[in-house]
């Protein structure tokens, strides 16, 4: 968390939760907590490994990290 009135560190978190709500919660109604937990784990796995953001030039995050030179 950032200091009071300084929201720079919260931008990444707000972006993720915005995508999560838009892509998961607004489309599905969960009947129990197990289904919600499973869907959250699947979505986070997809978000971190399979999705292709425009800033990665057609690569998913795992491929993009693999092509970067080690520092």
Q: Using 50, 70 and 90 to split pLDDT, how confident is the model at 6? A: low
Q: What is the pLDDT of residues 11-60, one digit of tens each?
A: 778 888 888 888 888 878 889 999 999 999 998 888 888 887 777 888 88
7-35 burial, b at 16+ Cβ within 10 Å, e below that, comes to: eeeeeeeeeeeeeeeeebeeeeeeeeeee
Q: Which among 9, 5, 3, 43 is positioned nearest to 23, based on CA atoms?
A: 43
CA 15/CA 22 separation, integer angstroms = 11
């Amino acid at each position: 968390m950032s200091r009071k009135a300084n929201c720079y560190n919260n931008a990444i978190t707000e972006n993720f939760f915005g995508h999560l709500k838009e892509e998961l919660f607004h489309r599905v109604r969960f009947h129990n907590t197990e289904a919600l937990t499973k869907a959250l784990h699947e979505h986070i796995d997809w978000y971190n490994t399979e999705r292709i953001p425009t800033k990665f030039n057609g690569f998913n995050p795992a491929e993009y990290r693999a092509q970067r030179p080690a520092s």
